[in-house]
């Protein structure tokens, strides 16, 4: 079992490379992804190795990128589109929600749309507005789209390949603050299916649930709680639509308490949906209401305030204390 240590961004690069080697219908499209290798260098050297007919530098026109990808998918290709930053996806929003998500249904199942849209999202990089936001709820709310977000290099390597292999459109959300930390990647076999959630830390007293970069923060909070005698179980959602509720519900039925944490604003969010579903399906196992910790319901602030806006371990632990006090 070959294990290799690499940063999240390099794991994505390796996963894209493997998918392109395995299927010559896979091609990449995006702004500055070719010669530059993307602003985060996720596509570095892929133009050199696969040529400009499979790695396409596009104009600054997200609507055109996705619209062209739809046409290519109709012709039998498997396009992977890069949106440079989360806030730049909205010029393509109509193409994604009004066309891409509906094409298969519109053709009564006779047409597949094997398109992956890669979106770096989330904060912690000290950038300006449109560069640190978390728009996952817009896409999770849209029938016809699959939405996933890896939190580790190993998941990045395998989930990008599994997303490309899907015959349905996949919104692939990459937590940009995790691009640089390294982790071990198993190059032989995927640990889990694309749409499976996973327990990443065992505990007995309370369940902490989240996705993307927030999983690292939850693990930090769990480690701090342990020093104070509280045992936290941590669940990485991984798939935002569909959600695999099995491990979440099993954990909550064991601990009796749950906190959901996310960078996105809390109102009508993924955390809202998962909290409501857990309270419907595990009501009699709960010792306290499901609590949520999120970004505030305001536009993302200037960089010097992001530490106050984004949930940290202290805010999560405050919610843990409130839950345990019931």
Q: Report d(CA 32, CA 105) in Å as an integer.
A: 33
Kindly name the residue from 131, 141, 195, 211 that is annotated as catalytic.
131
Residue 192, token pair as written in the block:
């889990």
Q: How many CB atoms neighbour CB 2 within 10 A?
A: 7
Residue 28, token pair as written in the block:
């990449």
- Please provide residue 48's backbone torsions phi and psi, each rounded to the nearest 5 degrees: -60, -40
Instruction: Provide CB contacts within 8 A for 41, sequence distance 6+.
Output: 9, 13
Annotated catalytic residue 141: no
Q: Which of 276, 269, 277 is nearest to 293 (CA)?
A: 269
Residue 225: C-alpha distances to residues 192, 242, 326 (Å): 28, 30, 17
b/e code 90-99 from CB counts within 10 Å (16+ = b): bebbebbbeb
What is the 3-class SS of 178-213, one letter each residue?
A: HCCCEEEEECCCCCCCCCCCEEEECCCCEEEEECCC
Cβ atoms 130, 198 nearer than 8 A: no
Q: Which residues are catalytic?
A: 131
């Amino acid at each position: 079992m070959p294990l290799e240590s690499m940063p999240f961004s390099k794991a994505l690069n390796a996963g894209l490379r493997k998918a392109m080697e395995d299927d010559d219908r896979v091609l990449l499209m995006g702004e500055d992804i070719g010669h530059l290798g993307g602003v985060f260098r996720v596509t570095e050297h892929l133009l050199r190795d696969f040529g400009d007919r499979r790695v396409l530098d596009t104009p600054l026109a997200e609507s055109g990128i996705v619209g062209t990808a739809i046409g290519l998918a109709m012709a039998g290709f498997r396009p992977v589109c890069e949106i440079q930053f989360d806030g730049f996806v909205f010029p393509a929003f109509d193409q994604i929600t009004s066309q891409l998500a509906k094409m298969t249904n519109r053709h009564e199942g006779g047409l597949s749309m094997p398109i992956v849209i890669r979106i770096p999202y989330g904060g912690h990089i000290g950038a300006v507005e449109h560069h640190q936001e978390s728009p996952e709820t817009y896409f999770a709310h849209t029938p016809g789209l699959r939405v996933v977000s890896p939190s580790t290099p190993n998941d990045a390597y395998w989930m990008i390949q599994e997303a490309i292999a899907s015959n349905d459109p996949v919104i692939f959300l990459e937590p940009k603050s995790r691009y640089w930390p390294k982790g071990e990647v198993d190059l032989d076999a995927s640990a889990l299916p694309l749409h499976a959630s996973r327990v990443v830390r065992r505990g007995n007293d309370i369940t902490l649930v989240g996705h993307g970069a927030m999983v690292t923060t939850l693990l930090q909070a769990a480690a701090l709680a342990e020093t104070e005698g509280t045992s936290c179980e941590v669940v990485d959602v991984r798939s935002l639509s569909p959600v695999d509720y099995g491990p979440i519900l099993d954990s909550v039925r064991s601990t009796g308490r749950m906190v959901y944490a996310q960078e996105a604003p809390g109102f009508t969010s993924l955390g809202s949906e998962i909290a409501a579903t857990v309270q419907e399906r595990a009501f009699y196992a709960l010792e306290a209401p499901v609590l949520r910790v999120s970004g505030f319901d305001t536009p993302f602030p200037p960089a010097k305030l992001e530490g106050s806006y984004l949930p940290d371990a202290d805010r999560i632990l405050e919610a843990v204390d409130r839950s345990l006090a019931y």
